[in-house]
């Protein structure tokens, strides 16, 4: 017979969402957090994009965030420099940040532990786990699925399927002592056909040079795109150094429309399991931390009503914004190099504040009304052409 451990809450996943849930659970609520990697924060699966204002608002240690005050945006024939000093980007040291999050709670954190599956028994959940080749069971009242795009718990219980459209990225991190530490770059077009690219400076003086694609919109692999980028002349054109002695980071996140069904009778999803990364730039650490903490507080309340209030709050905050952002995501995934030239040229008509709000997936009422007016105009135009 398998060893059995009892706890009130089982959290599957030790990324920013799962760790943040654990961090706000009251001391009297017992919790076990299982994480399949051998340590928290490694391997790195994200570029760590965030915003300095969120670092401050969330009370994150400032030494884990590298501020970036301007960015260069490139397509084949267009170049735009964006002044971000009014709302600086932050590039996070995710390893140290996640480890800091891990010590904010009293949860029993178990690394190198594989989640195998769950069944319902008598109003509780019995989950099978494996560590060092030995299986055991955890009995819990609640399960939090913070397993990322795998949706491991939800899929096993037949509640949700992993996304059929995903953003897949790879980046090379390397020392770049001569790169401007206040400069980031985003690039599109022939240098990364069917994909997109980025270069972000870090707290350690390194540079994270990455490329990504959306599957199945693209059938190219990020590794192939990266090889083409290194062999071509795009890096020199953008004044970016070629990587040497680099470390490889890679990650996957959902790229599907946001859905606000988060609570399933004792099973709750949060973070990438709930598609909480922004559809515009795919950055979601700040949202995972914020909503993970809110979920932990709701779970600490101990009532179904608290969970429903949390679910409604997330819906109010994200649903409309993410619907608009996903439309932009879907269109951009089909852009040709010529489309990107036109897109970067159009960006010049926006103020830095408007452009940064777009990057944050933070659409103001004026932007939403403007978008609505454009949509109505297109519909009327199509109707008139159809006469």
**pLDDT for res 193:** 83
Which CATH architecture is the domain 3-43+96-162+258-330 placed in? 3-Layer(bba) Sandwich (3.50)
Residue range 252-272, pLDDT digits in tens: 999 999 999 999 999 999 999
Q: Which positions of the chain have pLDDT values less than 50? A: 371-387
> Which tokens hold the place of 25?
């659970």
**pLDDT for res 379:** 35
What gap in Å lies between CA 183 and CA 199, rounded to an integer?
A: 9
Q: Is 93 left (phi over 0), alpha (psi -120 to 50) or beta?
A: beta
What gap in Å lies between CA 102 and CA 23, rounded to an integer?
A: 7
What gap in Å lies between CA 27 and CA 106, rounded to an integer?
A: 7
SS3 149: helix
**pLDDT for res 213:** 94
Exposed, middle or buried by CB within 10 Å (0-12, 13-18, 19+), for 89? buried
**pLDDT for res 380:** 28
Helices and strands, counts by H and E, the chain: 11, 20
**pLDDT for res 366:** 60
CA distances 148 to 192, 277, 313, 368, Å, are 26, 11, 21, 30
The DSSP secondary structure of 275-344, one letter per residue, reads: T-S-TTT---HHHHHHHHHHHHHHHHHT-HHHHHHHHHHHHHHHHHHHHHHHHHHHHHTT--HHHHHHHH
What gap in Å lies between CA 126 and CA 124, rounded to an integer?
A: 7
**pLDDT for res 383:** 34
The DSSP secondary structure of 216-231, one letter per residue, reads: TT--S-HHHHHHHHHH
- Extract the runs of DSSP E, i.e. beta strands, from 93-205: 108-110, 113-121, 124-131, 134-140, 142-145, 166-175, 183-187, 195-201
**pLDDT for res 2:** 85
Q: What are phi and psi of 133, to 5 degrees?
A: 80, -5
SS3 254: strand
Q: Is 37 left (phi over 0), alpha (psi -120 to 50) or beta?
A: beta
Which CATH architecture is the domain 49-93+165-254 placed in? 2-Layer Sandwich (3.30)
What gap in Å lies between CA 202 and CA 199, rounded to an integer?
A: 10
What gap in Å lies between CA 384 and CA 208, rounded to an integer?
A: 50
**pLDDT for res 194:** 78
> Which H or E element spans position 267?
strand 267-269
Tell me the Cα Rg of the chain: 22
Residue range 114-145, pLDDT digits in tens: 999 999 998 999 999 999 999 999 999 999 99
Strand 195-201 and strand 183-187: pairing? antiparallel
Residue spans per domain, the chain? 3-43+96-162+258-330, 49-93+165-254
């Amino acid at each position: 017979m398998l060893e059995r451990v009892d706890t009130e809450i089982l959290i599957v996943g030790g990324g920013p969402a799962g760790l943040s849930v654990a961090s706000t659970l009251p001391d009297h609520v017992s919790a076990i957090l299982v994480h399949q990697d051998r340590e928290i924060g490694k391997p790195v699966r994200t570029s760590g994009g965030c915003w300095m204002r969120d670092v401050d608002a969330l009370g994150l240690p400032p030494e884990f965030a590298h501020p970036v005050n301007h960015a260069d945006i490139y397509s084949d024939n267009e170049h735009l420099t964006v002044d971000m000093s009014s709302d600086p980007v932050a590039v996070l040291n995710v390893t140290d940040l996640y480890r800091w999050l891990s010590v904010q709670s009293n949860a029993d954190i178990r690394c190198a532990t594989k989640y195998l599956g769950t069944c319902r028994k008598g109003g509780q959940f019995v989950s099978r786990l494996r560590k060092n080749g030995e299986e055991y069971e955890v009995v819990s009242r609640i399960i939090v699925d913070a397993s990322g795009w795998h949706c491991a718990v939800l899929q096993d219980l037949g509640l949700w399927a992993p996304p059929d459209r995903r953003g897949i990225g790879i980046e090379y991190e390397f020392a770049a002592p001569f790169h401007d530490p206040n400069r980031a770059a985003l690039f599109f077009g022939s240098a990364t056909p069917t994909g997109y690219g980025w270069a972000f400076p870090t707290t350690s003086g390194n540079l994270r040079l990455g490329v990504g694609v959306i599957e199945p919109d693209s059938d190219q692999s990020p590794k192939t795109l990266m090889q083409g980028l290194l062999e071509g002349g795009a890096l020199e054109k953008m004044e970016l150094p070629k990587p040497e002695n680099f470390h490889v980071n890679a990650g996957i996140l959902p790229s599907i429309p946001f859905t606000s069904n988060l609570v399933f009778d004792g099973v709750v999803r949060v973070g990438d399991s709930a598609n909480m990364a922004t559809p515009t730039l795919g950055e979601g650490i700040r949202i995972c931390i914020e909503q993970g903490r809110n979920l932990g507080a709701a779970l600490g309340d101990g009532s179904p009503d608290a969970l429903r209030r949390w679910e409604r709050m997330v819906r109010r905050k994200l649903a409309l914004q993410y619907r608009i952002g996903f439309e932009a995501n879907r269109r951009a995934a089909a852009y040709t190099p010529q489309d990107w030239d036109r897109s970067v040229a159009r960006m010049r008509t926006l103020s830095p504040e408007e452009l940064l709000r777009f990057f944050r997936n933070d659409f103001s009422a004026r932007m939403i009304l403007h978008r609505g007016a454009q949509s109505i105009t297109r519909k009327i135009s199509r109707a008139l052409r159809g006469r």
